[in-house]
Structure 1
Amino acid sequence: MVDRGSWVTDWQSSPRWWSARRCGFVAVPLSNRVTWPREAGSDVDLDAVDTSLVRALQADGRASFETLAGVVGLSRVATSNRVQRLLDSGAIRVAAVVHPAARGLSTLGHLAIDVSADAAKVAATIAAKPEMPLVSIVAGRHAVIAEVRTEDMGHLRATVTEVRELPEVHTVTTAVYTRGVKDVYAPGQGRAPAAAVPQPTELDPIDQGLVSLLQHDGRSSYAELGRAVSISPSSARARVRALLDAGVVHIAAMIRPGMLGLSSMCGFGLTLDTGPGITDRIAEHPEVYYLTETIGTWDALGTVLCSSSETVSVTLDQIRNIPGVVHLEAWMHLHVVREDYSLPALSGGDTEGEGTR
């Protein structure tokens, strides 16, 4: 539900890849599609402790209850109960997200699509394309927005052409991501270090199985993970740590905004002056939970997540008033048709492992 290349630029060092973005979302292989629980409860009232827990789990979805207890100043049991309440309510889920660079996806873009009729049909057609992890119907100058992830500019151009050739599509406007500035799902609530950017990586069947399981439940124990792929808990731990340390995957809490009282989500595109640090100042606003610099239609794209349309309006005005912001265009998300950043299911082979050590 977020609006987000490199030309082998430094988008890969940005946090954007962590996103498995924030909307309504075993055995191996696991389905590509990640979904929220069907029976989710009503809005969850968060106090300061719950908010701190959510933030800590966004930074490290596998943080131990002891570590989390130290963050919030409660006992381990009380902390465990709070985390379980958040998980059971459907307000958050913890899952692994695979870095696109590890999958050879080095060029990301944002498509703003005008249609002649039936935006829902266009969105559904686009959402069926594997290159499109995010597709949303929006209110604004355009009817549908989408994120596209491809190997290079040639593949991006071909994908955009396919969208343009759909009968109901009138125009497609494209912006290519160049530098990620902010993503609340990145470690430390901000920037991922360049050193953490992985090279394209071929995962063996065991690692693929572990990643698939962690996409389903990022807090699965090493015993559960090891049992599922026929290796020892210690081997499972070593493999998961290697994937995390190499930057191939990140495990984080993903929030369901509406259940946390954050019901208004608005994307925006910016035309900026040439001064330094403009996007960094925009990123300081707490309501801005995603921001990336781009080349194309806009100089930057972002998303604000707020409790009401009034708060959205105030936040957008605050962004407009930042020195260096020349123009702001906004759109409200009406219906997210697809939001899926999972690793494709295993296509073959088995997960016969190393045995118990």
Structure 2
Amino acid sequence: MLAHALQVDGRASFRRIAEVLGVSDQTVARRYTRLRSAGVLRVLGLTDPLRLGEVPWFVRIRCAPSAAAQIGEALVRRRDTTWVHLAGGGTEIFCLVRARGPHGDTLLERLPGTPRVVDVSAHCLLHVFFGQDRSLITKTGPLTSAQVTALKAQDGQDAPPETTLDGPAPAYPLEEADCRLLDALARDGRASIGELAVATGWSQTTVRRRLAELRSAGVLYFDVEYAPRVMDRDFRASLWLSVEPSHLDAVGEALASHPEVAFAAATTGPTNVFASITTHDAGSFYRYLTGPVAALPGILGTSTAPIHRTIKTAGPFVPSAP
């Protein structure tokens, strides 16, 4: 229940969460501290690349045998990469690259010439159907609709305002202190106002105001990263669909409603829809492909790749202790 509550609002106060769950705020705080220390879950403050003038690319890299781990570790250390997965029997890497400008950057240009890289394909992200501040637990979590509504109510903290963006918006300008604020939140989305004031050099009042502005502008959102055992699902795969343009939106909206879909987006390329799938096991994945996916309109082809290991998530890379 705590993970679901934090997915609704990652910065909801422990007092507000405790009221909704019917427990004490000390119990909530103690439980969160224990889970975070154990690496079971953490709240991340993340940014929407499209609102910052960045271009996100889904990049698939086929490598020579035994080279994927080494190349993957190099990608992990880059600030412009997230969600670095090892897939396809250990010969494929899948990651998201946030590039400046519509034509990518030096990483996308250099990858094809990297030794032991066999093939590279890049698909520009065009539209997100499901993801960012919504996750699997949003669909299947234990909280009731009344509890979710109560959590969304402002409690004197920096509660999330409604974000409405009609049509394309210009890149949102950031100051140097904004970048320090966002870096701190990427490491710990529940960092205290005092800690954020120290990181930015702002007053606590300014920090609260700027948090509200960045959230309202759609620049900043909060997501919960949790261990697979929280959802009791052990099989993960990437699903690529080739969809007729006239059915693209309908397929994306349908995927967004499927309980197996953790993320879904429209992309460029011959496979123009990407989805991240999580099921209990390989058999469940097969039934999902031959059931809900097969029933989607306008599907011209599919491609799948099981994810064997995730070596970087949406948060910043944290080196392991020696």
Q: TM-score, normalised by structure 2?
A: 0.77
Corresponding letter in the other structure for 1:174: A
Kindly provide the amino acid, as one letter, of the partner of residue 257 in structure 1.
Answer: P
Residues 65 and 122 of structure 1, relative CA distance in 2, 3 Å threshold = closer
Identity of paired residues, percent?
A: 21
Which residue, out of 247, 258, 267, partners 2:238? 267
Q: Residue in 1 aligned with 2:277?
A: 304
Q: Which runs of 4+ in 1 moved over 6 A?
A: none
Shift in CA distance, 304/150, structure 1 to aligned 2, threshold 3 Å: same
Distance in structure 2 (CA, Å) of the matches to 1:173 and 1:232: 46
Per-residue deviation, residues 167-211 of structure 1 (Å, max 9, x unmatched):
212222232222111116349959964259864344334333332
Q: State whether residues 239 and 303 of structure 2, in contact with CA within 8 Å, keep that contact through their aligned partners in structure 1.
A: yes
Q: Does 1:314 align with 2:287?
A: yes
Change in Cα spacing, 1:222 to 1:132, as seen in structure 2 (3 Å) is closer
Residues 93-132 of structure 1: pairs in structure 2 closer than 5 A: 93-105=42-54, 107-117=55-65, 118-132=67-81
- 2:112 pairs, out of 164, 173, 177, with 164
Corresponding residue SS for 1:314: helix
The answer to whether the aligner puts 1:58 opposite 2:7 as a matched pair is yes
Say yes or no: does 1:212 pair with 2:161.
no
Matched residue type, 1:247: G
Question: Partners of 2:286 and 2:126 in 1: how far apart?
Answer: 27
The CA distance in 2 between the partners of 1:198 and 1:293, in whole Å, is 18
Structure 1 equivalent of residue 251 of structure 2? 278
Separation of aligned partners in 1, 2:165 and 2:40 = 31
Q: Which runs of 5+ in 2 are unaligned?
A: 140-161, 318-322
Q: 1-side partners of 2:89 and 2:124: how far apart? A: 20
Partner of 2:41: 92
Aligned AA (1:95): L
Between the aligned partners of 2:38 and 2:195, the Cα distance in structure 1 is: 23
Task: Report what 2:310 is aligned to.
Answer: 336
For residues 123 and 79 of structure 1, do their structure 2 counterparts lie closer, same or farther at Cα, with a shift above 3 Å needed? closer
Does 1:236 pair with 2:207?
yes
In the aligned structure 2, how far is the partner of 1:254 from the partner of 1:61?
11
Q: For the Cα contact (< 8 Å) 2:11–2:190, is it kept in 1?
A: yes
Instruction: Report the residue type matching 2:97 in the other structure.
Output: V
Residue matched to 1:153: 102
2:145 corresponds in structure 1 to none
- Alignment CA distance shift 1:314-1:97 (3 Å): same
Deviation at 1:282, TM superposition (A): 2.0
Secondary structure of the equivalent of 1:210? helix
Aligned residue among 221, 225, 244 for 1:254: 225
TM normalised by structure 1 equals: 0.70
Deviations 1:258-311 (A, max 9, x none): 455333211110122443512211221111010011120302011112333333
- Whether the 8 Å contact between 1:282 and 1:322 is mirrored in structure 2 is no
Q: Which runs of 5+ in 1 are unaligned?
A: 1-49, 344-357
SS in 2 for 1:236: helix
Question: SS at the partner of 1:94?
Answer: strand
1:341, distance to aligned residue in structure 2 (A): 4.9
Q: Which residue of 1 aligns with 2:144?
A: none
By how many angstroms is 1:63 displaced? 0.6
